Amino acid sequence: MLDSLTEKLSKTLKNLTGQGRISEKNISETLKEIREALIDADVALSVVKHLLNDIKKRALGHEVLRSLSPGETLIKIIHDELILVMGEKNEVLNLAAQPPAVILMAGLQGSGKTTTAAKLAHFLQETEHKKVLLASTDVYRPAAIEQLQILATQINASFHPCDPKDSPLKIARSALVSAQEKGFDVLIVDTAGRLHIDKEMMTEIQDLHKALNPIETLFVVDSMTGQDAAKTAQAFNEALALTGVILSKMDGDARGGAALSVRYLTGKPVKFIGNGEKIEALTPFYPERLVSRILGRGDIVSLVESIQRNVDQEKSAKLAKKIQSGRGFSLDDFKGQLLEMKKMGGLAELADKLPGMPNLPQNIKNKMMDDKVLTRFEAMINSMTKKERNFPDLINGSRKRRITQGSGTSIQDLNQLLKQFTGMQKMAKKLGKPGGMSKMMRQLGGKLPQGLLG
Ligand SMILES: Nc1nc2c(ncn2[C@@H]2O[C@H](COP(=O)(O)OP(=O)(O)OP(=O)(O)O)[C@@H](O)[C@H]2O)c(=O)[nH]1
Ligand SMILES: [Mg+2]
């Protein structure tokens, strides 16, 4: 699955890794190749355009991180944009309804609705321990009802028996009543396959929808139909308020077009993918995992991952270097670090990233996470003269009053800042010595240096 997209993208991106920097010129060829790869993967044209636009905008406006080559930066951008277009995170089924939570299955003929209904029942029984009732309203295709009944037996799910001579609406209503009476958590209603242009059949499913008031209306679509899958989902969504899409047959030679297009074209998330004929072959859809597959399991993905690590490492390394230099460590440097810490998501985040730093107790984390402290520190340093920043020992009583008045802080705040600064300075000196870092980590043994926290 998705092999050719993977192959093409890997090749394109590998060619870029030798380049010096990202420019309009050297990126245009790559973008063209990416465009071709996406079109070959049968991604809808509007999605391709949107993706390329965003990739280009971000790539050109992107500050290329020093530790990364432009090629690596571009891979990271493509990685992020592909995830973005698919909706970033896994969207779970919403079952928060007065039981039974009703799930209505919809889709074209042969898309995999019946199989998926049973797979879903199995999934909910196994992973969420739900009591599931399956019902079929497909009175049109001979043996369609039996098909679901057999699957239900296989997975030990309950099945709502019905007479194929009854109308789908009648069957649906009686299934709902039965589920309510018997205390089922979930009722999954299978429907006959239909075309969105078949007015009569669309009215029928709209009526079913009204009668059942499902919390989830899932469109099951064959992913092998590529961008057409996304387009039919779009058309169905206009007639029926879908809550999600399930891409079936992702184990076949799906080229990726459906997965990449559905979310963008319908605004509805892909919640699951079907990847086999077996009853277990249904997996929650994680955009990130699919992107990893698209970009290839091998070197490209690990490259992306190492980039992620590099980005973090580069930031921490910068910080460590400053700390290690020790000499001339001024309040301006301290402020620079505070700003950096803020950018990196606050102190707690930083502490989590420091190697060898064991899990900190929550109360310390909370204290560290208080970024208001950072803001106060910054304000106080801003109110200092250059001389005071370089020689904090100068800061006496009257200077303290001036600084705190100027920054709207208290003497206590300023004392805390100076104490932390001194602690940092001391630590910097220690770290500056050979082996200082690892020695200190050992000494710390889970505690932060005095003075860093005040
Ligand atoms: N390989 C593979 N086959 C699948 C998958 N999902 C469904 N199928 C197969 O697709 C065929 C059609 O599946 P059904 O579940 O009967 O499809 P349907 O949408 O209920 O069909 P109608 O009721 O006729 O509209 C069956 O042979 C299934 O085994 C999947 O994820 N992978
Ligand atoms: Mg069916």
pLDDT number for residue 376: 87
- Whether 63 and 78 have beta carbons less than 8 Å apart is answered as no
Domain residues for 375? 326-444
Residue 107 in contact with ligand 1 by CB distance below 6 A = yes
Residue 110 in contact with ligand 1 by CB distance below 6 A = yes
- Residues 86-126 have pLDDT tens digits of 998 899 999 999 999 999 999 999 999 999 999 999 999 99
- Residues 282-295 have pLDDT tens digits of 999 999 888 877 77
CA 182 – ligand 1 centroid, Å? 29
CA 340 – ligand 2 centroid, Å? 57
Its pTM stands at 0.67
CA 116 – ligand 2 centroid, Å? 9
Residue of 448 and 423 predicted with greater confidence:
423
- Whether 141 and 192 have beta carbons less than 8 Å apart is answered as yes
Task: Give the total number of structural domains in the chain.
Answer: 3
β-sheet bridge partners, residue 132? 186
CA 40 – ligand 1 centroid, Å? 25
pLDDT number for residue 447: 39
Query: For residue 221, what is the enclosing H or E element?
Result: strand 216-222
Alpha-helical regions (H) of 344-370: 346-353, 362-369
Mean pLDDT of 67-77: 70
Judgement on whether residues 62 and 123 belong to the same structural domain of the protein: no
CA 221 – ligand 1 centroid, Å? 10
Residue 142 in contact with ligand 1 by CB distance below 6 A = no
Residue 249 in contact with ligand 1 by CB distance below 6 A = yes
309 within domain boundaries: no
Q: Is 364 helix (H, G, I), strand (E, B) or coil?
A: helix
- When pLDDT is cut at 50, 70 and 90, the band that residue 63 belongs to is low
The CATH number of whichever domain residue 37 belongs to comes to: 1.20.120.140
Chosen domain end from 237, 262, 286: 286
- Residues 344-378 have pLDDT tens digits of 555 555 444 443 333 445 555 455 556 677 788 88
94 within domain boundaries: no
Distance CA 298, CA 300 (A): 6
267 within domain boundaries: yes
452 within domain boundaries: no
- Residues 204-240 have pLDDT tens digits of 999 999 999 999 999 999 999 988 888 899 999 999 9
Atom of ligand 1 nearest to the CA of 250: 31
Mean pLDDT of 154-158: 96
Judgement on whether residues 130 and 182 belong to the same structural domain of the protein: yes
- Mutation to probe ligand 1, out of 108, 114, 115 (largest number of atoms < 8 A from CB): 115
449 within domain boundaries: no
Judgement on whether residues 68 and 131 belong to the same structural domain of the protein: no
pLDDT number for residue 144: 95
pLDDT number for residue 300: 46
Tokens standing for residue 278: 């077996």
pLDDT number for residue 311: 53
Judgement on whether residues 359 and 276 belong to the same structural domain of the protein: no
172-209: burial string, b at 16+ Cβ within 10 Å, e else: bebbbebbeeeebbbbbbbbbbbebeeeebbebbeebb
Long-range CB contacts (within 8 A, 24+) of 371-375: 371/342, 371/346, 371/347, 373/416, 374/338, 374/341, 374/342, 374/346, 374/347
Give the residue whose CA is nearest to atom 7 of ligand 1: 112
CA 94 – ligand 1 centroid, Å? 24
Q: Is 329 helix (H, G, I), strand (E, B) or coil?
A: coil
Judgement on whether residues 10 and 113 belong to the same structural domain of the protein: no
- Would the pLDDT of 337 be above 60? yes
The CATH number of whichever domain residue 425 belongs to comes to: 1.10.260.30
Residue 118 in contact with ligand 1 by CB distance below 6 A = no
Residue 111 in contact with ligand 1 by CB distance below 6 A = yes
pLDDT number for residue 15: 64
The CATH number of whichever domain residue 220 belongs to comes to: 3.40.50.300
Q: Is 282 helix (H, G, I), strand (E, B) or coil?
A: strand
- Most trustworthy range by pLDDT among 152-156, 298-302, 334-338, 365-369: 152-156
Give the residue whose CA is nearest to atom 14 of ligand 1: 112
Atom of ligand 1 nearest to the CA of 220: 19
- Would the pLDDT of 32 be above 80? yes
pLDDT number for residue 340: 63
Judgement on whether residues 330 and 280 belong to the same structural domain of the protein: no
Question: Could you tell me the CA-to-CA distances from 432 to 67, 108, 331, 337, 424 in Å, in that order?
Answer: 23, 68, 18, 17, 12
9 within domain boundaries: yes
96 within domain boundaries: no
CA 140 – ligand 2 centroid, Å? 10
pLDDT number for residue 393: 87
Give the residue whose CA is nearest to atom 21 of ligand 1: 110
Residue 138 in contact with ligand 1 by CB distance below 6 A = yes
Residue 144 in contact with ligand 1 by CB distance below 6 A = yes
Judgement on whether residues 180 and 237 belong to the same structural domain of the protein: yes
Question: Could you tell me the CA-to-CA distances from 118 to 170, 189, 209, 454 in Å, in that order?
Answer: 21, 10, 20, 59
Is the Cα torsion angle 383, 387, 389, 391 positive or negative in sign?
A: negative
- In the chain, the percentage of residues whose pLDDT exceeds 90 is 48
132 within domain boundaries: yes
Residue 115 in contact with ligand 1 by CB distance below 6 A = yes
Judgement on whether residues 232 and 372 belong to the same structural domain of the protein: no
Atom of ligand 1 nearest to the CA of 275: 31
Residue 314 in contact with ligand 1 by CB distance below 6 A = no
Any idea which ligand is nearest the CA of 115? 1
Q: Could you give the angle at the alpha carbon of 284 between the alpha carbons of 299 and 236, nearest 5°?
A: 115
Residue 283 in contact with ligand 1 by CB distance below 6 A = no
Residue of 454 and 148 predicted with greater confidence:
148
β-sheet bridge partners, residue 246? 220, 272
Distance CA 66, CA 413 (A): 36
Residue 126 in contact with ligand 1 by CB distance below 6 A = no
